[in-house]
Chain A
Amino acid sequence: ETGVTQTPRHLVMGMTNKKSLKCEQHLGHNAMYWYKQSAKKPLELMFVYSLEERVENNSVPSRFSPECPNSSHLFLHLHTLQPEDSALYLCASSLGGLAPDTQYFGPGTRLTVL
């Protein structure tokens, strides 16, 4: 596969469930990102990893827990979510570094919390 892949593409979960989102990039990039996209709102950056180290965490609730085991894989572990967490969750990757840094996105996981 090429580019950035995400699984699952769709997820429905109850508020007491625990689930994980997976992202894999095949671009040889060093940085990976999780974004939340809600209707008619700008993309909200949740987490950034650079060379497997978390470099940003924008006040995201602890019910979202990221994991980056290597530079190609990124996970988002979910537990005890709220209905307002329903959204499209996007993973992106980039080269990283000092130059303007283009991010390449995966197709997203559509999450519905009941």
Chain B
Amino acid sequence: EDQVTQSPEALRLQEGESSSLNCSYTVSGLRGLFWYRQDPGKGPEFLFTLYSAGEEKEKERLKATLTKKESFLHITAPKPEDSATYLCAVQAPETGGFKTIFGAGTRLFVKA
């Protein structure tokens, strides 16, 4: 069964304390892996798309990497404004088109 698992469920960091969020997936024929940020009461905001193993993308303090089984979102020297829920999603082909499967997210809290 295709699935996406994110860990940890919640992560508490001190400001400046770097860490990584994990997204592991089992799908047949990955077309793309997406990272989103979601603030409370708002819709997910797109961050990155990764297409193939070995690919990396960066944006400010965030860096996303991809292997054949998982993706990491590395957060370097986080600030309180990085506090949010980070969602991972994968896209894979299915009959007649494709499907998108989301993980449950990692809630990140950064304390000043």
Contact = CB atoms under 8 A, between A and B. Distances in A.
B91 A107 contact: no
B104 A101 contact: no
Contacts, number: 53
Q: Chain A contact residues (Cβ within 8 angstroms of B): what range?
A: 20 to 34
Given A55-B96, A101-B98, A102-B34, A42 B42 contact: no
A61 interface: no
Contact of B87 (A4, A43, A88): A43
Contact of A108 (B31, B32, B41): B41
Interface string A88-114: 101010000000111111111010000
The prevalent SS among residues of B at the interface is strand
A40 B41 contact: no
Contact of A42 (B4, B43, B51): B4
A46 interface: no
A88 B43 CA distance: 9
A56 B43 CA distance: 21
Given A42-B4, A42-B104, A43-B87, A107 B32 contact: no
Interface of A: 4, 6, 40-43, 45, 50, 55-56, 88, 90, 92, 100-108, 110
